[in-house]
Amino acid sequence: MSKIRQPAVAGTFYSSDPKKLNHELDILLSVSQPAQILTSVTGIISPHAGYIYSGKTAAFAFNTLKDKKIKNVIIISPSHRQYFDGISIYDGDAFETPLGIVEINKEIALRLIKGSNFIFFGSVGHKEEHAIEVQIPFLQKVLSGIKIVPIVIGDQKKNNVDDLANQLSKVIDDETIILASSDLSHYYSKDEANLLDSIVEKRIRDFDIDGLQLDLENRYCEACGGGPIVAMMKAAAFSGKNKSLILNRSDSGDTSGDDSQVVGYLSAVIYGD
């Protein structure tokens, strides 16, 4: 492997020490057991803040993947550091975390690019992006031998999101799922955040994709990874998987004790019959 994306936020968002990271993940997963066990999963929504803040909420989603015969996880994130138009699939060979190396499935990546005017191979958006990276140690804990397809959406305009959804619908199956990486509202009071985030929660629970997309466009609610969530849900719907289950919702004030300016988090699972 000639090009491996090195950790950018190990030591800040999560521990850079493998033993400490393993222990941290074990605790988070043990205290975040979903009430309902699903036989199959098409996609999950997971937050991407530091584990101390959003790790428990994220763990609910990753627990739904345990004991599944999943070989590939397509991880979609917003771009926090760079603005660009289009959708960037990392052009390297693998991602590395303190728990080891996870290979990129280039075959699936090529299938996603083929026929798209917006999806491309590149490093743009990936160098310092945390929203993909923080998901990978969880995946390494709950699934073995997986490959990933790391995707960053630049501009989350409708054309880009809809094109990605269409392309994703061509590659997902029982062995290939989608992970939409997203936090919710940022820096409102706890009460204000709850009002905004409850809109996102309801749209996902009702599997109301168009409603969610319109609410995000009109700024009735917030989700930095709203585009990834919509793309994942649309791809699932195209494939006949149109059921959702909200697993957990929280905010940073639950950990910090400061409710004056919080960041919202949600985990959910998308599935079919």
Per-domain boundaries in the chain: 40-271
User: Where are the extended beta strands (E) located within 57-215?
Assistant: 72-78, 87-90, 94-97, 100-103, 119-122, 147-153, 176-181, 186-188
Question: How open is the CA angle 208-269-255, to the nearest 5 degrees?
Answer: 105
Q: What tokens were used for 146?
A: 């997986």
Residue 263 bridge partners (DSSP) = 186
Q: What is the overall mean pLDDT for the chain? A: 97
pLDDT at 37: 84
What pLDDT score was predicted for residue 70?
Answer: 97
CA distance linking residue 94 with residue 100, whole number of Å: 10
The 3-class secondary structure across 42-68, one letter per residue, is: CEEEECCCCHHHHHHHHHHHHHCCCCC
CA distance 226 to 85: 16
Rounded to 5 degrees, what are φ and ψ at 38?
A: -100, 145
* CA distances to 5, 38, 179 from 98, in Å: 12, 30, 21
Degrees, nearest 5: CA angle 265-266-271: 160
Helices 209-217 and 226-238, interaxial angle, to 10°? 160
Average pLDDT in the 182-200 region?
98
Task: Say which residue, 273 or 208, is predicted with more confidence.
Answer: 208
Residue 29 exposure: Cα atoms within 13 Å on the Cβ side = 18
pLDDT tens-digit readout, 50-100? 999 999 999 999 999 999 999 999 999 999 999 999 999 999 999 999 999
Question: What whole-number distance in Å separates Cα of residue 13 and Cα of residue 53?
Answer: 9
CA distance 34 to 69: 19
Interval 206-253: pLDDT, tens: 999 999 999 999 999 999 999 999 999 999 999 999 999 999 999 999
Instruction: Give the model's pLDDT for residue 223.
Output: 98
Is CATH 3.40.830.10 the classification given to domain 40-271? yes
| Cα atoms in the 13 Å half-sphere on the side-chain side of 155 | 8
CA-to-CA distance for 219 and 199, rounded, in angstroms? 11
pTM, to two decimals = 0.97
| pLDDT reading at 1 higher than 70 | no
Count CA within 13 A, CB hemisphere, residue 95.
34
Report the pLDDT value the prediction gives residue 273, as an integer from 0 to 100. Answer: 78
Which residues 6+ apart lie within 8 Å of 57 measured at CB? Answer: 32, 46, 47, 247, 248, 249, 250, 265, 266, 267
129 closest CA partner among 13, 3, 25, 221: 13
| Among the listed residues 214, 212, 228, 238, the one whose alpha carbon sits nearest the alpha carbon of residue 44 | 228
